[in-house]
Structure 1
Amino acid sequence: MTGSWRLFLLCGLLQGAGCQTGTNKVLFATNVMPAIGSCVTVPCHFTLEKRFEEDLIPECKPIWRKGNKGPVLPNLTKESTGGMSVTFRGNLTAYDCTTTFYNVDNGSYYFRLECPNKLQWNFVDEPLTIQFKGDLPAPLLTHPKEQVVEGTLVELGCSAPSPCHPHPTIVTWTPTLGLSTQLQRDNEVTSTLTFTASHRYHGNNVSCTAIYFKQSQGKNVTISRSYQLSISFSPRNTSVSGSPCHPAREGGCLNLTCTSHANPPVSEFTWYRIHGERILQIGNGSALSIQLFNTNNWFFCEVLNGIGTEKSNVYKIDIQGIYSTCWQKSLSNDHQIRFF
């Protein structure tokens, strides 16, 4: 691939960045704003006049200075624990000048190409401005905007800056509800957590944690952000409880209560009495007071919300003189009934 063709592709990818073929330009973000205490990797590309294309050879050296005529920053193969330095990560013959900066402070930094021929050029018109901002930020957590229904797939996203390529930010999820993937792109890391919605997760908090390496302290720093899950599900664990009016006897009354776990909450409660092989609807509401008979004191409730319905267990009370014995049976297993 010729140098001119490479320049054409580069300019096509960097539209709007002022790129023109046949000019000496260095291209990167106008202002780089890393967090305090972090090293920073700056993606960087450059273009050259046509007369210099043949002079761009593997023996060329990248040079960075702080200030146009300031000191040259040491180019180290390993990161430095003290003093300003850089590690060159690009490929000059591919017009790539990507560099990681260590222990630098606010200011303008200038790039120079120094080759063992006539190509020795200071890119003085396009300085890199580094301006440190506040401390490392909390990750950004994204969640579904629509209602999440039990049984559907849920996707949560978490992104955090990853300014220093030798120490990429790591994103973790707590709890691990499903499959998570992580993607590093430019100076940002993004993680996606995918799981199947369950009523067991409703109301639980899911945390996304960004693990940063803080060069100034030589250790990892963790920052988290949480989201409370809201899962819609049909009624579950529906049951009936009862307490006889005092004294409990034939012709007396029974207080029944129907409870269920659902989201959204139950909107309709319907009560039924089992009369032989028939089912009689006898009332509505979460609580009901009914008259007791010598027989047919079998009851259950049915509940409804916007997602589905569920029937409770069967509740029976036996009348024995002025005393009562209360017990419950499963509607599905212990009583064969027909609905009319």
Structure 2
Amino acid sequence: MIATEKLLLISCLFQGIICNTFKAFMPQRIKALSGSCVLIPCTFTIEESYENDMVEPARGIWRTSQYSGNVFDSSRHYSENTLKAELLGNVTNKNCTTIIHHLKKNYSKSYVFRAEPLKYTFTQSVLLEVADYPDRPAISPSSAVKEGAPTSLACTAPAPCPREPPALVWSDTLDGSVEIEQVEQQDGTKAVSSVLMFTTSHLHHNKDITCTAQYPVGSETKSAEEVSTLHVLYSPKNTLVIINPSGEIHEGDHVTLSCSSNANPAVSRYTWFKVKGDNITEKSAEQDLTFTDINPSDSGLYYCEARNEHGAENSTAMQLNVASPATPCIYVVMGTAAVQMLATILVVVFIMKRYVFES
């Protein structure tokens, strides 16, 4: 069959003409909602020798197969057809676009088109699927974007019934703006697209945003939703110094200064600095700055820098104070004075008791 078509095409090209064959162009599959309607975009071509047969009165017919009975005939009254449909296209213009109303679940079949007075049934078919609930809309793109860049998310949902297109609702507009437009798909079917435009922030990272497609069907609404997680690339934020242990630090203690920062991608380099007067000294290139046996000379202002491929941020400088232990002799003097005071008190008590007894 394919070889025959190629030979026919080559023959036509040699003759310098364009070959027209009997062929219908329609979507291979359309999904629609029960109780609603569906528009089937449809056109066709015929062999050039049959062009003179395309005269009025012409009619369009839909069947479930080439040799089955008619389920729709444009020459019949609306109530006489199995499919409650309407031929919108003009058959003489090779347009077979049709709208089917009041869809039922048992309409879920494949359909082929027949043109009269050609008396030709096209082999191409459309599969109609009638469902109780709509498919989820699609959100794009889902790739990571850099903070501060203007970006957009597009939510698209099919609109099989042009009279009742879906409303698209975002869970959060992210302080941006929304534009709604109707679009035509490659197969000729219609869709509705909602484009959310906003400026990215690091606060949006890992945020879930939902797009809900709401289809009006009679007196009710049938909904479906899709969730997309935002991925934002940003430089380090909220960089700060954490001292462990907290509280008073004494000479000889084990002390760790940790640099904490939020970034995407993660921080690739940490740098520690010590400030003493007008001098700034680089102390380490690790996330933690550790003192195993700290001494008063380590006292001073410390801050860290966190960096990734999108930038860097410095923490606020933190004062580290190391207290010296008290001189041992001070404790000795304090101890002697206490003993002398205690002895004096005992002597006084003894004398008072003796005086009372003798009296």
Same fold, TM-score > 0.5, yes or no: yes
TM range (shorter): 0.5 to 0.7
Counterparts of 1:73 and 1:214 in 2: how far apart (Å)? 26
Q: Where do 1:295-314 residues align within 5 Å?
A: 297-314=300-317
- Tell me: CA distance 1:286–1:97, structure 2 relative to 1, closer, same or farther (3 Å): same
The answer to whether the Cα contact below 8 Å between 2:252 and 2:295 also exists between their aligned partners in 1 is yes
CA distance 1:88–1:94, change in 2 (3 Å): same
**Structure 2 CA distance for partners of 1:95 and 1:125, relative to 1, 3 Å:** closer
Residues 291-335 of structure 1: CA deviation (Å, up to 9, x unaligned): 352795211111122322111001114567769xxxxxxxxxxxx
CA distance in 1, matches of 2:61, 2:75: 8
Which range is displaced more, 219-228 or 248-257? 248-257
Which residue of structure 1 aligns with residue 173 of structure 2?
Answer: 176
Residue in 2 aligned with 1:45? 43
| Percent of residue pairs identical | 25
- Indicate if the aligned counterparts of 1:151 and 1:198 stay in contact, CA closer than 8 A: yes
Question: Match of 1:141?
Answer: 139
- In the aligned structure 1, how far is the partner of 2:235 from the partner of 2:72? 68
Shift of residue 45, structure 1, vs aligned partner: 2.3
Match of 1:204 among 203, 207, 229: 207
Partner in structure 2 of residue 283 of structure 1: 284
* Aligned residue in 2 for 1:28: 25
Give the aligned residue type for 1:210: A
- 1:78-117 to 2 correspondence within 5 Å? 84-91=83-90, 94-102=93-101, 103=103, 105=107, 106=109, 108=111, 110-112=113-115
**Secondary structure in 1 aligned to 2:228?**
strand
Aligned length: 288
- In the other structure, the counterpart of 2:231 is 230
- The corresponding residue for 2:148 is 151
Aligned-pair CA distance for 1:260? 1.0
- Which AA in structure 1 matches 2:238? N
- Would the alpha carbon gap of residues 150 and 98 (structure 1) be closer, same or farther in structure 2, given more than 3 Å must change? same
Q: Deviations over 1:214-253 (max 9, x none)?
A: 57xx533221222212211111111113256786346656
Give how far 1:44 is off. Answer: 1.9
Q: Say whether 1:187 aligns with 2:189.
A: yes
Task: Return the structure number with greater helix share.
Answer: 2
- Name the stretch that deviates more: 257-266 or 65-74: 65-74
Structure 1 length normalisation: TM-score? 0.68
Q: Which residue is equivalent to 1:273? A: 274
1:300-339 to 2 correspondences below 5 Å: 300-318=303-321
Question: One-letter code of the match for 2:243?
Answer: G
Structure 2: which 5+ residue stretches go unaligned? 1-17, 327-359
Residues 32/246 of structure 1: CA separation in 2 closer, same or farther (3 Å cut):
closer
**Partner SS, residue 31 of structure 2:** coil
**In the TM superposition, what is the alpha-carbon distance from 1:140 to its structure 2 partner?**
2.9
1:316 and 1:32 mapped to 2: Cα distance? Answer: 70
CA gap of 1:271–1:156, structure 2 versus 1, over 3 A, is same
Name the counterpart of 2:264. Answer: 263
Paired residue type of 1:226:
V
Task: Give the 5 Å matches for 1:54-93.
Answer: 55-56=55-56, 62-64=59-61, 66=63, 69-70=69-70, 72=72, 84-91=83-90
In the TM superposition, what is the alpha-carbon distance from 1:211 to its structure 2 partner? Answer: 2.8
1:191-214 per-position Cα deviation (integer Å, ceiling 9, x unaligned): 444433221110111223333345
Hey, what's the Cα distance between the residues in 2 that align with 1:322 and 1:94? 102
CA contact (8 A) 1:100 1:165 kept: no
- Confirm or deny: 8 A CA contact 1:174 1:207 kept in the other structure: yes
Native 8 Å contact 1:66 1:73 kept in 2: no
Contact 1:258/1:287, CA 8 A, preserved across alignment:
yes
TM-score when scaled to structure 2? 0.65
